[in-house]
Amino acid sequence: MNGKIEVGVLGATGTVGQEFIAQLANHPWFTVSWIGASKRSAGSKYRDATQWRLSSPRPDRVADMVVDSVKPGRAPGLLFSGLDSSVAGKVEDEFAKAGHIVVSNARNHRMDPVVPLVIPEVNADHLQLLSEQAESKGWPGGIVTNPNCSTVVLAMALAPLRQFGLSKVIVSTLQAISGGGYPGVASLDIVGNVLPVIPGEEAKIETETKKILGRFIKTRIEPHAVTVSASTTRVPVINGHTEIIAVSLESNPGPRELVGALRSFSGQPQESVLPSAPKQPILYLEDEDRPQPRLDAGRDNGMAVCVGRLRACPVLDYKFVALGHNTIRGAAGAAVLNAELLKENRVVQ
């Protein structure tokens, strides 16, 4: 297959799985050669097993592939996992034991002390945990995870602020319905409405962020000292999580310094020009009424996080708005970028 690396997708029929198929359709390095899903779908053609829910067309090549069950055996070495958290823990373990590298979007292993929770621009160095993982788990493969969709947006916006003594964060999220999967949120619950909670989400934001912003020290991650308080809501938006953020910064920077830090923020994906890397990971928008999910979530193929409205906060130090595409930068695109990072760093070959 043109010298591309063969990859598989675990949970290929679900919403995240579909997004993986779409993101990988014309990928320069990877080609999908295997798809796995629950017993219900195994044995069927992908075309028949999936109710395609994306506005981008379903790639014909994959549509004709036969779905396998989620057992190691026929699967290639590199796997993307869009599995539901009810099964992801056990299944991903099995594949790692069998020698596969699993790049997972599931939440099950994110907070495992030996599993890297990676945003390539922020903490690529956390991949060093993989040796520790191999040793402590005693498996030939490995698991790398990306954060929860709302955490990605927050952690990217906060990463450039660490240098200013980031100490406290209060964030309120307005999250898109695609974050709830399919069928997910009932229309009667959200049309013309707001849901004031997303169960379990706040704890994820409050803990994952500290791990991502933390430092790798020899064999473990020292979590960042920042205290995060999250309130999550669901709003009738298709794609794009909007986050209202207030921060305390101990070094007392000026607003221009902050905007400069956001705009110049960059990491290994940009240096190595990884295929899915946005040119600028963070776009600071000047217009007072931006970012908006419908207009801005898709910036740079959905991989850029947009920030706007930076201004003084009378209670903490600054407040601003951040926005990211939850199924791309916050899920499938995040995992693909992680895989690109693994290849670039020769973890995958």
Q: Which residues bind a second copy (CB under 8 A)?
A: 15, 53-55, 57, 168-170, 172, 174, 177-178, 180, 182-197, 199, 206, 227-229, 231, 233, 235-238, 242, 244, 246, 288-296, 298-299, 308-309, 313-316, 319, 321, 323
Q: Are 214 and 128 in contact (CB under 8 A)?
A: no
Mapping DSSP to helix (H, G, I), strand (E, B) and coil, where does residue 329 land? helix
How near is the Cβ of 219 to a second copy at its closest, in Å? 28
Q: Sign of torsion, CA 187 192 193 199?
A: positive
Q: Are 309 and 255 in contact (CB under 8 A)?
A: no
Q: Which of 224, 241, 306, 325 is catalytic?
A: 241
Rg, the chain, Cα only: 19
Q: Are 313 and 320 in contact (CB under 8 A)?
A: no
- Residue among 71 and 294 whose Cβ is closer to a second copy: 294
- Residue among 52 and 216 whose Cβ is closer to a second copy: 52
Q: Are 300 and 278 in contact (CB under 8 A)?
A: yes
Rounded Cα distance, 196 and 176, in Å:
13
- Residue among 92 and 206 whose Cβ is closer to a second copy: 206
Report residue 55 as tokens. Answer: 């506005």
How near is the Cβ of 171 to a second copy at its closest, in Å? 9
The separation between CA 319 and the C-alpha centre of its own chain, rounded to angstroms, equals 24
Rounded Cα distance, 24 and 115, in Å:
24
- Residue among 206 and 208 whose Cβ is closer to a second copy: 206
Rounded Cα distance, 25 and 139, in Å:
30
- Residue among 87 and 316 whose Cβ is closer to a second copy: 316
- Residue among 224 and 299 whose Cβ is closer to a second copy: 299
How near is the Cβ of 132 to a second copy at its closest, in Å? 29
* 332 DSSP 8-state letter: I
How near is the Cβ of 324 to a second copy at its closest, in Å? 13
**Rounded alpha-carbon distances, angstroms, from residue 32 to 15, 36, 37, 193, 240:** 17, 11, 14, 39, 26
Query: DSSP letter string over 132-166?
Result: HHHHHHT-SSEEEE---HHHHHHHHHHGGGGGGTE
How near is the Cβ of 151 to a second copy at its closest, in Å? 15
How near is the Cβ of 21 to a second copy at its closest, in Å? 15
Q: Which of 149, 224, 306, 325 is catalytic?
A: 149
Is there a catalytic annotation at residue 241? yes
Active site residues: 149, 241
